Chains A and B, each alone.
Chain A
Amino acid sequence: MSESVESELKLKCGIEVHQRLDSHKLFCNCPSETKLGKHGIEIVRMLHPVASELGETDAAAQFEALKGKKFVYQVFDDASCLVEADCEPPQPLNADALEIVLMICKLLECDVVSEVQVMRKMVIDGSNTAGFQRTAVVGVNGKMQTSLGVVGIPTVCIEEESAGIVGEQDGRIVYRLDRLGIPLVEIATSPDIKNPEHAREVAEKLGALLRATGKVQRGIGTIRQDLNVSVEGGARVEVKGVQDLKGVSDVVRKEAERQRKLVEVLVELKKRFGGKINFEARVVDVSGLFEGTASKLLAGKRVFALALPRFAGLLGRELHEGRRFGTELSDYAKGAGVKGVIHSDEKLEAYKISESEVGKVREALSLKDEDAFALVSVEDEAVARKALALVFLRAKMNVVPEETRKALVDFGSAYMRPLPGKARLYPETDVHPIRITKEMLENVGRKMPKTPEEKKLELVALVKNEELASKLLRGRNLQLFERIVAGTKADALAVAATLEETLVNLKREKVEVEKISEERMVELFVEFAKGLFVKAAIPEVLKEMAGEEGKSVEKIVEDKNLKRISGDELKKIIEEEVKDFKRIMVKYRLRVDASEVKI
């Protein structure tokens, strides 16, 4: 058995999917739209500790975390109201959104609760104006079949989306309220996922199942995957914000790898320390040693150094491609507001730090050969000390820490914050419990979408091409495909091929196909179904549509001389071209339907 397969066997992995539903907001009648234009007024708020049963210390900790923190909320008049501004009680839970979630529960073979009880989940980062997110369990004990067996779905929840973060402005965190309150379904799997590829399969299957309802939002940011990963000896780590399905397996693989390597680093460190990793924090102001340094990074700034006894060589240890143990320490330092730290296992000459400068630092910290150090350079001493304190804190950990990390573009991840403890949930007393009646379930039963399997059979029958049917099912065009086919009577195969192949090819040719709206695609096929142009002309028409947003398809066809030739005119051409099929098709490929050329 190879090493990697063995490690995968000890992998524990679960997925949490958040998908926006295609309905108005969960607790008010605002549309679920994120707006493009300028926002209206801004509201400035603070959050305060909430009196709790957990005692003074808890409140004190909350107070410290929130002290002086201000949040700014941008109001978008058409997409947020007093409910999002936390200035009006929530309205009853959106029944339409609940129906979609019941549908999803049924597809996942869940038990559905008899009474949905809306809870408040405490959130103190300001992303919810109320200080909590409203969430409720709808289904439990569900399951999904996969190629590697059953994956359990312990809970399916309905919840509200948080406010979108805009950024920081004069120390205030700015959020936008258009996103707050959009209904979401949250599906959590058990840690039944067997390996990185399996994770991708599960994520894909869940995505397809959600899209099959035809009642979920599509587009960037409407679905998010969080991955829970741990390996033996490692720790539960949640990697948040994996947007691209293709990345799921790589993220799982890299995280497993990272934890495995961290375990090795720990073993080595413990050996060097002869037991527990334990040392004193020693920080020295070494600014004086860098007077007249060639290093732009350090010149003219205050420089502080932290001794990392017995860490030599380990900081440079690669955890996975693009990430070293030192990077982990550096990520913690970012919590103090610095860009990172420099450590002694790096190629310091790259920063123009000379060997003699390194020697002086080592001397100042009285380091031995097996010792390492970390450097930080900033204007503010307090910030520098805080950054190094965080590095010290991370370096001294004797276990792989439980963390919440954010996914990076290279499918690695960076430290965000410690894994939160058990969420604090208490009932949302402003929203009545919702009874799930037999009638509601029967009603949902009648509206059930087809399962992905049923859907595939139907698509294959319609499109008569298995590969295209699978692509439609996996991709994000299914709803548009169905809309076009139902609305235009256009040939299903032509529609499928256009959406799944032509558009992809044009994109590769750098045609800006994303500029073509769904409405325009419908228009294209309305004209196509009328026989205005032939299938072969579609790419040409699309190219024009991407360039000329205001021009009608009819006009494009006319201007580009793409109008279909048929009937008497075609007969004439056939005569003219002396019934040479090949000659006709070469000459009139874009204007003539081959099946009509009867020779």
Chain B
Amino acid sequence: MYSKEVMRALENADVREGDKVCVRASGGEYEGLLLPRAELGGENCLVLKLDSGYNVGVEFSAGSEVELVERGKPLVFQSSDFNVSVVGGKPRVSILGCGGTIASRIEYKTGAVFPAFSPGDLLSFAPELKDIASIDCRKLFSLLSEDMTPKHWQVIAREVAVEVKKGVEGIVLMHGTDTMSYTSAALSFMLQNLPVPVVLVGSQRSSDRGSSDNAVNLVCAVLAAQSNFAGVGVCMHVNMNDDYCFLHEGTRVRKLHTSRRDAFKSVNVSPLAKIDYSGRKVEFLRDAVKRDERRRVEVDDKMNENVFLLYTYPGVKPEFVEKLDCFDGVVVAGTGLGHVPTNPFDDEFAQSIVPSLKGLVEKGIPVVIAPQTIYGRIDLNVYTAGRMLKEIGVIGDGCDWLPETALVKLMWALGHVKKVEKVRELMVKNVAGEVSERSPVIEEERGE
């Protein structure tokens, strides 16, 4: 919205957004289409689209004039028609929209990005989809992925089960990339006995640019959804090139770059598969659960959201840790092999948080440890700090999980059991590939 003064002046001149106007201001005379105020632009700056297509901002102040040149159409977003199927004799793949960059569209006049999700929209940026699958599209919600909550995970899990029961070949979830690996981990725990693939996909570069990674990612995800695999995976670029995608295991993947197309990496395991965009081929890189349409999916989505993720750091205060007793569970992302400040040498500045953590455990709050190094396995036997944590009953020694996966798993475990010992039992047991006993030697940046 423009400022009150400007709005009044526009009203007096009988001028609305979308009209062609002439503005005379101290900065000169301009004619163009009046647009809504630019996001982050000045509230007194009228935005005009000139005949050349360029937008300019013109300061409108006392003494400025605006005049109607030609009445235009009011600016409204075109609404897309949702839930329409693309027919064809190809294998059926359901695409569910959970928001994010991949399912957004630009309104060219104003430049506003708004959610768009219809088969028409999808086909407009990836027309090749119609050659590889018969697509069913459905929007679950329009959401920025940073706004996702465990409640949303539950909705997604149930809706995926609905699609599975329809007997589709596979399901693709379009999702924002920021929290995609939390959702993939949650679905991995919630969706048990899956007969077919559930593939999450997103894009790192917005769909309003020709260079967006959305088409390659989506096409590869649809291919992965038809492959011989059952479980939850994430499908994103292998590297900066537009040629291959990896299918990552849902509990083993993390976004490790803010902006690159290859931000998603499999951690401590190889990716499940490599997908050739041009060749339309899926090549499995290691053993994976095979698809089996006879299995019947079970939705086990009980969650306890009251869990905290503590990222320890030099100088972390014991008093702060003590306050975490309002939570039902705490994941500590520890340093190195799984450490926190323990001060065994009575240093004058150092402060141990072990007593505070012990206090939590004694109150029946499970404390779980995971590595903030991201890569590698927790080992509480090597150094004093680790041994002290082990002694007070911290859960996770020997686990090679990601902090976020440990967090999601703790929410899920606490949805099922309450007692610390029961929680421990469930946590250290491999449920969905999140922990393993072997640490494979992985070539760095495989596939590049």
Query: Which residues of A does B touch, CB under 8 Å?
Result: 43-53, 56, 59-60, 63, 66, 68, 70, 82, 85-89, 111-117, 119-122, 124, 129-132, 135-137, 140-141, 155, 157, 422-429, 432-433, 435
* With A88-B260, A424-B53, A433-B42 already in contact, 18 other A-B pairs whose C-beta atoms are closer than 8 Å: A48-B211, A48-B212, A48-B215, A53-B108, A53-B109, A82-B259, A117-B54, A117-B55, A117-B57, A130-B205, A130-B209, A132-B209, A137-B50, A422-B53, A424-B108, A427-B38, A429-B111, A433-B40
Contact A141 B28 (CB under 8 A): yes
Give me 12 A-to-B residue pairs in the complex whose CB atoms sit less than 8 angstroms apart, sorted by A's number: A47-B211, A48-B126, A60-B127, A111-B27, A117-B54, A129-B211, A155-B52, A425-B55, A426-B106, A426-B109, A429-B113, A435-B57
Closest chain-B Cβ to A18's Cβ sits at a distance in Å of 16
C-alpha spacing A117/B56, complex, angstroms: 6
Which 10 pairs across A and B sit closest by C-beta, in order of nearness?
A: A115-B57, A131-B210, A111-B28, A427-B111, A114-B59, A425-B53, A47-B210, A113-B56, A117-B55, A44-B241
Contact assessment for A117 and B259 in the assembled complex, using a CB-CB cutoff below 8 Å: no
Inter-chain contact A52/B108, CB cutoff 8 Å:
yes
B52 neighbours in A (Cβ, 8 Å): 137, 155, 423, 425
Q: In angstroms, how far is the closest chain A Cβ from the Cβ of B24?
A: 11
Which of B85-93, B117-125, B186-194 participates in binding chain A?
A: B117-125
Give the distance in Å from the alpha carbon of A117 to the alpha carbon of B37 in the complex.
11
- Chain B residues with Cβ below 8 Å from A63 are 127
B158 at the interface (CB under 8 A from A): no
Instruction: Say yes or no: A45 contacts B241, CB within 8 Å.
Output: yes
Does A53 lie within 8 Å of B78, measured CB to CB? yes
B211 near A115 (CB under 8 angstroms)? no
Which B residues are CB-close (under 8 A) to A82? 259-260
Minimum Cβ distance to chain A for residue B91 (Å): 23
> Most B CB atoms within 10 A — which of A119, A155, A428?
A119
Question: Could you tell me the distance between the alpha carbons of A68 and B215 in the complex, rounded to whole angstroms?
Answer: 13
Q: Residues of A contacting B58 with CB < 8 Å?
A: 113-115
Which of B39, B56, B78, B216 contacts A46 (CB under 8 A)?
Answer: B216
Q: A129-B211, A425-B53 are in contact. Are A115 and B41 (CB under 8 A)?
A: yes
Q: Does B251 have its Cβ within 8 Å of any Cβ on chain A?
A: no
CA distance A131 to B45 in the complex (A): 29
Task: Check A56 against B120 for contact (C-beta < 8 Å).
Answer: yes
| Given A45-B242, A48-B215, A63-B127, residue A140 in contact with residue B108 (CB < 8 A) | no
- How far, in whole Å, are A113 and B113 apart by their CA atoms in the complex? 25
Contact of B55 among A52, A122, A427 (CB under 8 A): A427
Are B124 and A137 touching (Cβ within 8 A)?
A: no
What is the chain B residue whose CB lies nearest that of A140? B28
Are A427 and B110 interface neighbours, CB within 8 A? yes
| Contact of B261 with A by CB under 8 A | yes
User: How far, in angstroms, from A168 to B183 measured CA to CA in the complex?
Assistant: 43
B contact residues around A116 at 8 Å (CB):
56-57
Cβ contacts under 8 Å, B212 to chain A: 48, 50, 131
The answer for the CA separation of A305 and B54 in the assembled complex, in Å, is: 47
The complex places the Cα of A422 from the Cα of B50 at a distance, in Å, of: 12
Are A87 and B259 closer than 8 Å at their CB atoms? yes
> For the complex, would chain B's binding face be called helix, strand, loop or mixed by DSSP majority?
loop
Q: Select which of A48, A52, A53, A433 is within 8 A of B45 by beta carbon.
A: A433
Contact of A112 among B27, B50, B111, B259 (CB under 8 A): B27
Report the minimum CB–CB distance from B81 to chain A (whole Å).
13
Q: Does B387 have its Cβ within 8 Å of any Cβ on chain A?
A: no
Q: Please give, as numbers and ranges, the residues of chain B lying within 8 Å of A136 by CB-CB distance.
A: 54
Give the complex CA separation of A196 and B120 in angstroms.
51
Query: Out of A47, A50, A86, A137, which one reaches B54, CB within 8 Å?
Result: A137
Chain B residues near A111 (CB-CB < 8 A): 27-29
A114–B45 contact, CB under 8 A? yes
Give the residues from 14 to 60 in chain B that come closer than 8 angstroms, CB to CB, to chain A: 25, 27-30, 38-42, 45, 47, 50, 52-59
Q: Is the CB of A86 within 8 A of B211?
A: yes
Chain B hits for A426, CB < 8 A = 106, 108-109, 111, 208
Of all chain B residues, the one with the shortest Cβ separation from A110 is B28
* Residue pair B121, A115 in contact (C-beta under 8 Å): no
Report B-chain residues with C-beta under 8 Å of the C-beta of A50. Answer: 106, 125, 207-210, 212
- Contact A115/B59 with A426-B106, A427-B111 known, Cβ cut-off 8 Å: yes
A122 and B127 contact, Cβ closer than 8 Å, known pairs A113-B56, A429-B111: no
Judge whether B259 and A88 touch: CB under 8 Å: yes
- For residue B29, which residues in chain A have a CB less than 8 angstroms away from its CB? 111, 141
Count class of interface residues, chain B: 35 or more
User: Is B243's beta carbon under 8 Å from chain A?
Assistant: yes
List B contacts of A135 (CB < 8 A).
54
Decide yes or no whether B302 CB sits under 8 A from chain A. no
Q: What is the distance, in angstroms, from B330's C-beta to the closest C-beta of chain A?
A: 35
Say yes or no: is B146 at the interface (Cβ < 8 Å to chain A): no
Q: B283 at the A/B interface (Cβ < 8 Å)?
A: no
Residue among B41, B207, B240 with the highest chain A CB neighbour number at 10 A: B240
B292 within 8 A of A: no
Q: Is B105 an interface residue (CB 8 A)?
A: yes
Task: Determine if A51 and B54 form an interchain contact, defined as CB atoms under 8 angstroms apart.
Answer: no
Residue of A whose beta carbon sits closest to that of B56: A113
Question: How far is it, in angstroms, between the C-alpha of A82 and the C-alpha of B259 when the chains are bound?
Answer: 9
Query: How close is B208's CB to chain A, nearest CB, in angstroms?
Result: 6
Most buried by B among A48, A63, A141: A48
Instruction: Mark each residue of chain B from 199 to 224: 1 if its CB lies under 8 Å from any CB of chain A, else 0.
Output: 00000110111111011100000000
Q: Does B5 contact A (CB under 8 A)?
A: no
With a cutoff of 8 Å between Cβ atoms, the chain B residues found around residue A87 in the complex are 204-205, 240, 259-261
In Å, the complex CA distance between A122 and B108 comes to: 11
Closest to A141 in B: B28
Nearest to A53 among chain B residues (CB) is: B108
Question: Cα distance A49–B29 when bound, in Å?
Answer: 36
Q: What CA separation (Å) do A312 and B59 show in the bound complex?
A: 62
A421 to chain B, nearest CB (A): 11
Closest CB in chain A relative to B49 CB, distance in Å: 8
Decide if A46 touches B108 in the complex (CB within 8 Å): no
Structural contact, A51 and B210, CB atoms closer than 8 A:
no
Instruction: Across the interface, name the chain B residue whose C-beta is closest to A64.
Output: B127
In the bound complex, do residue A114 and residue B57 qualify as a contact, i.e. CB atoms below 8 Å apart?
yes
Q: For residue B258, which residues in chain A have a CB less than 8 angstroms away from its CB?
A: 88
Q: Check if A122 sits within 8 Å of B210, measured CB to CB.
A: yes
Nearest CB of chain B from residue A433's CB, rounded to whole Å: 4
Q: Which residues of B contact A137 (CB under 8 A)?
A: 50, 52, 54, 56
Quote the shortest CB–CB distance from B445 to chain A (angstroms).
Answer: 12
The reply to whether A113 and B209 contact each other, CB–CB distance below 8 Å, is no
Q: A87-B260, A433-B57 are in contact. Are A115 and B42 (CB under 8 A)?
A: yes
Q: Point out the residues of chain A lying under 8 angstroms from B59, CB to CB.
A: 114-115
